Amino acid sequence: MVHRDLSAASLGGGKSVEIRLTRERLIVTNPGGLHGLSIEQLTGSDLAKSAVNQRLYDLMRHVKTSDGSSVIEGEGGGIAEILRACRGSNLTRPHF
């Protein structure tokens, strides 16, 4: 949610996150673009951060689950983790 544009313009008109599972792939579509990042920055070796909802991001950095784990890691490593998991499972690299 910290990466999602929650403005009326984004949420209206059917612009919602879509998750589809086919025999060949998992497809996640999140309209709204990359706010402040290029695809090269997103998939590069440096951990790039871009929170659309900065206040929500700041709040969520301090929220813990019932077992004490962080809700978000807050260091921009989500995409790097996805890429590592795909490589480790011999899956096709995600298309951004």
pLDDT of residue 48: 67
Percentage with pLDDT > 70 across the chain: 74
pLDDT of 20 higher than 90:
yes
Give pLDDT tens digits for 66-90: 999 888 876 667 788 888 999 999 9
Distance CA 36, CA 31 (A): 15
Question: What's the average model confidence in pLDDT over 51-64?
Answer: 81
Specify whether the CB–CB gap between 4 and 32 falls below 8 A: yes
pTM: 0.60
Specify whether the CB–CB gap between 12 and 59 falls below 8 A: no
Which residues have a Cβ under 8 Å from the Cβ of 39 and sit 6 or more positions away?
A: 96
